[in-house]
Each structure stands twice: as structure tokens, then as C-alpha cells.
């Protein structure tokens, strides 16, 4: 059964501000790693150099799209957390320190089958939930796709070819309509297109 790692004791006042600070973001991720290890018995370590690179690339991505935050904050935070997942996975910011057994072809237990992807996805989901609660007053829950092993398998396979698909899969996990073609472009997000149509004068 898929369960999100509990990181309820990590309660900075404004998680969105905190996550934009390198050391604080790392602390949040470290706590998630610790909780994951306690829950699943798999030790995950952060690679400082790769994490730092992922963090700053992500900062560039969100600052580049900061105007979208004013137009559609709900979808901006969704995109931002998906982009964080993309960078953390792409840069291999974490790795499993436990020697993994011969990997199965299909994910019976996702947590063991793909520890890094599983843990980082839950980290970003936790981050999104708290950000939306604090910044937008919204409570969101993941969709059923999160508990479907075939989606995880597809996620892991496709990620090898196109890292930005992490954003699309993250949308799918949160029950949003993904933009499969160009997931890294905010302007092509379905929610962005709707906002643009609404704002366009008739």
C-alpha cells in the first residue's frame, strides 16, 4: 500500500519561502529521507553537489515563470513542485544507500522498486499540499493514479527519455490534466490556457 511519508513535524510557517532557501529545502528533504528510511527500511542519502545543482536550476525555472504565479497561483505551485521533482530526479539528488536486490521488472512494491523516485514524489506532494494550504487556502489530495503500479512503471521508463515528463506525471498523480507534449512549458499547461482564455478580452 502506498502511503505518504509523514513529515508533519516539519512545520515551517511558510513552506514556500523556506523551500526557496537551499539549506532549509535540504533540511526538509533530509527529514523526508529519514522518515522514508524509518518506514520502509531503505536508507536514502542526499548527494550535496547534485542536490545543490538541482535546487538552483529549479530556482531559475520558477523565477522565469513568476508572472504565472500572479495569474494562477494554484497551478503555478503545482507546476513548481512538478519542476522540483523533475530537477531532483534529473540531477540524481538522492540515491539509495542500501544495496538494492536484483530489480524486478514490474513494481510490486514501488517503495522498494524505485526508492528515489517514490520518495521524491512524496516529498513534492507533501510540499505542494502544504504550500497550497498556506498560500491559497486549498486542501488537495492525490489521485488514484498514485496507487497504480503501472503508472509508476510508465513514469520511470519515460523519464529516461524526457526528464520534463516528471511534471506531467506529477500532474497526473494530483488528478490534473497533464500536458504530455511540452510539460516543461507553463504556457502550454491546460490550466494556463484556460486562464488566458478567461483573461482575453472578447
Partner 1 sequence: METKSLLPQQLSRDISQLGIALKDCARQLRYAARNVPGPMREGPGLAHAPSHIAPARLVPPLFASPLSLESVAHLADDLLESAESFAGHAVPPLQDHWKSPVPLATLSSYLRTPRDDTKAQRKFSMSYYAAAKRMIMQCGATDVLIFEHRVSSALDDARTALAVAGEAALPPFAGSADALTALCRPCAQLALSLLDQQPIRSTRFDTLPDVSAPWWLVTEPNAYMFVLLPLASLCKEACTNAIVTEPDAALRFCADVIGAREVALRAALKERDRIGALAREIEHIVSHLC
Q: Which residues are at the interface with partner 1 (CB under 8 A)?
A: 20-24, 48-49, 52-53, 55-57, 59
CA distance 134 to 13: 8
Question: Three-state SS for 70?
Answer: helix
Instruction: Using the minimum distance from each CB to partner 1, give the nearer residue, 22 or 187.
Output: 22
CB of 188 to partner 1, least distance (A): 25
Which residue in 196, 139, 150, 140 sits closest to 171, CA to CA? 140
Instruction: Using the minimum distance from each CB to partner 1, give the nearer residue, 84 or 174.
Output: 84
DSSP-assigned letter for residue 174: T
CB of 89 to partner 1, least distance (A): 16
Which residue in 159, 96, 84, 163 sits closest to 126, CA to CA? 84
CA atoms within 13 A on the CB side of 50: 13
Instruction: Using the minimum distance from each CB to partner 1, give the nearer residue, 16 or 155.
Output: 16
Instruction: Using the minimum distance from each CB to partner 1, give the nearer residue, 56 or 180.
Output: 56
Residues paired with 95 in a beta bridge: 45
Alpha helices, DSSP H, located in 133-177: 149-161, 165-173
CB of 59 to partner 1, least distance (A): 6
CB of 121 to partner 1, least distance (A): 23
Instruction: Using the minimum distance from each CB to partner 1, give the nearer residue, 58 or 77.
Output: 58
CB of 53 to partner 1, least distance (A): 4
Amino acid at each position: 500500500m502506498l502511503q505518504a511519508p509523514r513529515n508533519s513535524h516539519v512545520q515551517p510557517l511558510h513552506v514556500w519561502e523556506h523551500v526557496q532557501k537551499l539549506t532549509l529545502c535540504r533540511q526538509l528533504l533530509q527529514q523526508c529521507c529519514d522518515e522514508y528510511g524509518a518506514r520502509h527500511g531503505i536508507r536514502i542519502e542526499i548527494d550535496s553537489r547534485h542536490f545543490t545543482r538541482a535546487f538552483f536550476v529549479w530556482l531559475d525555472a520558477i523565477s522565469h515563470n513568476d508572472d504565472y504565479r500572479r495569474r494562477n497561483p494554484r497551478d503555478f505551485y503545482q507546476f513548481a513542485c512538478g519542476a522540483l521533482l523533475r530537477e531532483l530526479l534529473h540531477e540524481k539528488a538522492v540515491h539509495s544507500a542500501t544495496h538494492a536486490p536484483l530489480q524486478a521488472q514490474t513494481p510490486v512494491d514501488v517503495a522498494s522498486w524505485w526508492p528515489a523516485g517514490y520518495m521524491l514524489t512524496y516529498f513534492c506532494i507533501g510540499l505542494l499540499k502544504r504550500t497550497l494550504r498556506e498560500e491559497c487556502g486549498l486542501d488537495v489530495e492525490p489521485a488514484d493514479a498514485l496507487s497504480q503500479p503501472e503508472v509508476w512503471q510508465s513514469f520511470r521508463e519515460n523519464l529516461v527519455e524526457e526528464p520534463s515528463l516528471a511534471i506531467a506525471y506529477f500532474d497526473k498523480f494530483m488528478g490534473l490534466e497533464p500536458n504530455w507534449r511540452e510539460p516543461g512549458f507553463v504556457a502550454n499547461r491546460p490550466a494556463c490556457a484556460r486562464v488566458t482564455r478567461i483573461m482575453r478580452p472578447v
